[in-house]
């Protein structure tokens, strides 16, 4: 297993043998195919961080459902901020790997 990126709350790995990606949320590790990874990325992209501060999402909670509803996560503002940076970092590392391979 190859470490891709690590942030405050999350860690991502790529498994060459299984051709899958693993995401460690601290209390839980999930396995994703590439297609599921793209869906995960889209879900994170859609999270509106501004709404946490403007009052539209005054509780500052995001519900993240992944892998065709197999996993559910409830995140607070800090975790969402970190998750957005984490996703950017993971894909930056994947792109870097594409350049060197």
Partner 1 sequence: MKDLVRQKLGIHVEIMDLLNEQIKKEAHSSSIYLAMASWCDHNGLDYSAAFFYEQAEEEREHMMKIFKFINDNGGTAYSPEVTGINHDFDSLEEIFETALDQEISITKSIHNIVFRCRKVQDLTTEVFLQWFVQEQMEEEQTIRRALELFDLMGTEGLGLKLLDERIPGIRK
Positions that interact with partner 1 (CB under 8 A)? 2, 14, 16, 19, 21, 34-35, 38-39, 41-42, 45, 91, 94-95, 97-98, 101
Cβ-based nearer residue to partner 1, 61 or 92: 92
Cα separation, 31 vs 22, in Å, equals 5
Cβ-based nearer residue to partner 1, 8 or 29: 29
Identify each DSSP E strand in the chain by its residue range: 2-6, 11-15, 20-24, 29-32, 62-66, 71-75
Cβ-based nearer residue to partner 1, 38 or 51: 38
The minimum distance between CB 101 and partner 1, in angstroms, equals 4
Cα separation, 77 vs 81, in Å, equals 6
């Amino acid at each position: 297993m190859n470490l891709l990126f690590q942030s405050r709350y999350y860690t991502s790995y790529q498994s060459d043998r299984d051709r899958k990606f693993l995401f460690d949320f601290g209390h839980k590790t999930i396995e994703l195919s590439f297609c599921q990874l793209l869906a995960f990325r889209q879900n994170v992209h859609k999270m509106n961080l501004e709404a946490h501060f403007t009052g539209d999402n005054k509780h500052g909670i995001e519900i993240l459902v992944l892998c065709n509803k197999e996993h559910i996560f409830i995140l607070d503002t800090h975790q969402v901020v970190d998750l957005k940076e984490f996703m950017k970092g993971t894909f930056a590392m994947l792109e870097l790997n594409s350049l060197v391979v």
